[in-house]
Amino acid sequence: LKANPHHQSVVSITPTVAVGADDLLIVGGPCTVENLGQMTTVAQCLVPHGIQALRGGVYKPRTSPYSFQGSGDAGLDILAQIRCHHRVPVVTEVMAIHQIESMLDRVDMLQVGSRNMQNFDLLKALGEIEKPVLLKRGLAATLEEFVMAAEYIVSHGNPGIVLCERGIRSFDNYTRNVLDLGAVVALKQITHLPVIVDPSHAAGKRELVPALAKAAIAAGADGLIVECHPVPDQSISDARQALSLDDMVALVEQLRPIAAAV
Ligand code: PEP
Ligand code: MN
């Protein structure tokens, strides 16, 4: 994955949506897929406004085992319907090897969450599929560990990897995590992979998200993955950091001039 001045990887998500080329990749959607109505509203509001892919978790890595764990297979069906009816690629988190098979024909990109960045058996299994992988940085992973996690996937045969900086643990919890924009710059220099930023899990508070998103693009990120919801305060998980759909669309408009200047 070492950087090569003559080669920057472009990862195709569908024949018409890619990341790492000229266009930013903007992924939006709720933390958790709740029901078809919610995801239909999300798709109807976002797809016409330059959001090229939708996100939504169906297997959720919750801190407490008593919190909602995700809608599982029923949620995958919802994503499959949305992707087909709205002609938009969808991304969801895979937590275990046995979930991979059921995702292959229903989603376009599989996300490895922070808590699984060093789940090496999962990474090896994802190396054997022909779908792109969105690999999020571990909660306290060094860049060396992050890049080596990506190497696990590539070395097992899958070159379609997108790195995602989502903030790392530090001493202050006013922000949920510390967004490491230095890591974005460094990863672009030391690897040839596309790098996107998740300002939502870094910020933890919706009022911080737009500024962090803009800063990420100014730092050279290839795209963003942002949590948003039709009724943010009613989000089943991560409500405090969810943008409204209107705020999401407004944010995307503000990114264009920044991207053009980078
Ligand atoms: C998520 O994207 O909803 C998520 C759980 O992210 P992370 O793994 O970065 O905490
Ligand atoms: Mn979340």
Atom of ligand 1 at shortest distance to CA of 31?
Answer: 3
Contact, 181 vs 216, CB < 8 A? yes
Q: CA–CA separation, 109 vs 86, rounded Å?
A: 16
Half-sphere exposure of 127 (CA within 13 A, CB side): 15
Domains and their CATH numbers in the chain: 18-59+68-255 (3.20.20.70)
Pocket residue to mutate for ligand 1, from 64, 196, 198, most atoms within 8 A of Cβ: 198
Model confidence over 167-218: pLDDT tens digits?
999 999 999 999 999 999 999 999 999 999 999 999 999 999 999 999 999 9
The first and second tokens of residue 72, run together, are 């599982």
167 C-alpha to center of ligand 1: Å?
10
Contact, 116 vs 149, CB < 8 A? no
pLDDT at 118 over 80: yes
The set of protein residues with a Cβ atom below 6 angstroms from ligand 1 is 31, 57, 61, 113-115, 136, 166, 198, 201
Atom of ligand 1 at shortest distance to CA of 164?
Answer: 9
Ligand nearest to the CA of 95: 1
Task: Please give the pLDDT value at position 5.
Answer: 80
At residue 79, the 3 state secondary structure works out as helix
3-state helix, strand, coil in the chain (%, to 5): 40, 20, 40
Pocket residue to mutate for ligand 1, from 33, 62, 114, most atoms within 8 A of Cβ: 114
100 C-alpha to center of ligand 1: Å?
17
> Which residues, 6 or more positions from 65, have their beta carbon under 8 angstroms from its beta carbon?
none
High-pLDDT (> 70) share of the chain, %: 100
Ligand nearest to the CA of 242: 2
Model confidence over 224-262: pLDDT tens digits?
999 999 999 999 999 999 999 999 999 999 999 999 999
Sign of the torsion angle spanned by Cα atoms 119, 124, 128, 134: positive
Pocket residue to mutate for ligand 1, from 31, 112, 162, 229, most atoms within 8 A of Cβ: 31
Q: CA–CA separation, 135 vs 6, rounded Å?
A: 24
In residues, how long is the chain? 262
For residue 251, CA distances in Å to 175, 210, 224 come to 20, 6, 11
Q: CA–CA separation, 200 vs 76, rounded Å?
A: 23
CB 252: neighbour CB atoms within 10 A?
Answer: 20
> Atom 3 of ligand 1 has which residue's CA nearest to it?
31
Average per-residue pLDDT for the chain:
97
Ligand nearest to the CA of 58: 1
Atom of ligand 1 at shortest distance to CA of 61?
Answer: 5
> Atom 10 of ligand 1 has which residue's CA nearest to it?
114
Q: CA–CA separation, 57 vs 237, rounded Å?
A: 10
Contact, 89 vs 109, CB < 8 A? yes
136 C-alpha to center of ligand 2: Å?
12
Q: Which amino acid is at 127?
A: G
The first and second tokens of residue 154, run together, are 């590539």
Contact, 144 vs 167, CB < 8 A? no
Q: CA–CA separation, 152 vs 138, rounded Å?
A: 15
Q: Which amino acid is at 98?
A: H
Prediction ipTM score: 0.99
Task: Please give the pLDDT value at position 79.
Answer: 98
96 C-alpha to center of ligand 2: Å?
18
Model confidence over 51-62: pLDDT tens digits?
999 999 999 999
